[in-house]
Amino acid sequence: MIYETNALAVAVFSLFVAAVLGLSFWLGRKATSAGGYFAAHGQIGWFVNGVAFAGDYLSAASFLGICGMIAFYGYDGFLYSIGYLAGWIVALFVIAEPIRRLGRFTFADALDAKFQSKGVKTAAAISTLVVSLFYLIPQMVGAGALVKPLLGLPHWSGVLLVGVTVTLIVVTAGMVSTTWVQFIKGALLLIFCAVLVGLILDRGLAVPRAADGATISAKDSARWTQTLETARDGAKLVNGAPLGADNQLDSRLRADVGTGFGSISALPGGVERTGPLGPISYLATFSQSTIVTWQKSEKTDAATGTRTATFTPKESTGDDLLLPGANPTFKGIRSPELSKKLDFFSLMIALFLGTASLPHILIRYYTVKDAAAARKSTVVGIAAIGGFYVLTLYLGLGAMTSGHLDPTDSNMSAPLLARSFSDTLFAIISAIAFTTVLGTVSGLVMAGAGAVAHDLLANVFGVVREDKAKVRVAKIAAIALGVGAMALGILFERMNVTFLVGWAFNIAASANLPSLVMVLFWKRTTKQGVVAAVLVGIVSSLAWVLTSADTIEKVYGYSAADAANLAFVPFSQPGLVTIPLGFVTLVAVSLMTRRNPATA
Partner 1 sequence: MRHRRLDLVLFFLYCGLYAGFMGIAAFRQDWMAWPVLGGVNLAIAYGMGLILGAIALALVATLVRRGEGEGR
Contacting positions for partner 1 (CB under 8 A): 75, 78-79, 81-82, 85-86, 88-90, 92-94, 97, 100-101, 280-281, 283-285, 287-288, 319, 322-325, 333-334, 341, 344-345, 348, 352, 370-376, 378-379, 382-383, 386-387, 389-390, 393
Q: Nearest CA to 170 among 448, 545, 458? A: 448
Q: Which residues partner with 297 through β-bridges?
A: 310
Closest to partner 1 by CB, 85 vs 497, is 85
Instruction: Report the C-alpha gap between 67 and 498 in whole angstroms.
Output: 10
User: What is the nearest approach in angstroms of partner 1 to the Cβ of residue 339?
Assistant: 12
User: What is the nearest approach in angstroms of partner 1 to the Cβ of residue 390?
Assistant: 6
Closest to partner 1 by CB, 190 vs 322, is 322
User: What is the nearest approach in angstroms of partner 1 to the Cβ of residue 363?
Assistant: 18
Say how many residues make up the chain.
600
Instruction: Report the C-alpha gap between 255 and 87 in whole angstroms.
Output: 46
User: What is the nearest approach in angstroms of partner 1 to the Cβ of residue 507?
Assistant: 21
**Please, are residues 67 and 399 in contact by the beta-carbon 8 Å criterion?**
yes
Closest to partner 1 by CB, 426 vs 583, is 583
HEC per residue, 331-382? HHHHCCCHHHHHHHHHHHHHHHHHHHHCHHHHHHHHHCCCHHHHHHHHHHHH
| 473 to 175, 438, 465: CA distances (angstroms) | 15, 22, 11
User: What is the nearest approach in angstroms of partner 1 to the Cβ of residue 518?
Assistant: 15
Q: What angle do CA 91, 96, 102 make, to 5 degrees?
A: 135
Q: Nearest CA to 199 among 135, 285, 90, 277? A: 277
Closest to partner 1 by CB, 51 vs 322, is 322
Sequence-distant (6+) residues with CB within 8 A of 10 are: 150, 151
Q: What share of the chain is helix, strand, coil (3-state, %, to 5)?
A: 70, 5, 25
Closest to partner 1 by CB, 572 vs 593, is 572
User: What is the nearest approach in angstroms of partner 1 to the Cβ of residue 343?
Assistant: 10
Closest to partner 1 by CB, 367 vs 442, is 367
User: What is the nearest approach in angstroms of partner 1 to the Cβ of residue 587?
Assistant: 20
Closest to partner 1 by CB, 247 vs 287, is 287
Closest to partner 1 by CB, 382 vs 438, is 382
User: What is the nearest approach in angstroms of partner 1 to the Cβ of residue 334?
Assistant: 6
Closest to partner 1 by CB, 185 vs 376, is 376
Q: What are phi and psi of 540, to 5 degrees?
A: -65, -45
| 214 to 176, 204, 292, 420: CA distances (angstroms) | 57, 21, 13, 22
Closest to partner 1 by CB, 93 vs 522, is 93
Strands 226-230 and 236-238, by their bridges, are antiparallel
Closest to partner 1 by CB, 88 vs 434, is 88
Closest to partner 1 by CB, 308 vs 317, is 317
User: What is the nearest approach in angstroms of partner 1 to the Cβ of residue 577?
Assistant: 16
Instruction: Report the C-alpha gap between 378 and 183 in whole angstroms.
Output: 14
| Count of beta carbons in the 10 Å neighbourhood of residue 596 | 10
Closest to partner 1 by CB, 253 vs 326, is 326
User: What is the nearest approach in angstroms of partner 1 to the Cβ of residue 163?
Assistant: 33
User: What is the nearest approach in angstroms of partner 1 to the Cβ of residue 176?
Assistant: 23
User: What is the nearest approach in angstroms of partner 1 to the Cβ of residue 317?
Assistant: 10
DSSP string, 88-150: HHHIIIIIHHHHHHH-SSSHHHHHTTTT--HHHHHHHHHHHHHHHHHHHHHHHHHHHHHHHHH
Query: Which of helix, strand or coil describes residue 547?
Result: coil
**CB contact burial 204-228 (16+ within 10 A = b; e otherwise):** bbbbbbeeeeebbbbeeeeebebeb
Instruction: Report the C-alpha gap between 399 and 415 in whole angstroms.
Output: 9
Instruction: Report the C-alpha gap between 296 and 408 in whole angstroms.
Output: 9
Closest to partner 1 by CB, 221 vs 281, is 281
Instruction: Report the C-alpha gap between 195 and 191 in whole angstroms.
Output: 6
User: What is the nearest approach in angstroms of partner 1 to the Cβ of residue 304?
Assistant: 44
User: What is the nearest approach in angstroms of partner 1 to the Cβ of residue 162?
Assistant: 29
**Please, are residues 25 and 163 in contact by the beta-carbon 8 Å criterion?**
no
Sequence-distant (6+) residues with CB within 8 A of 361 are: 53, 56, 57, 91, 355, 443
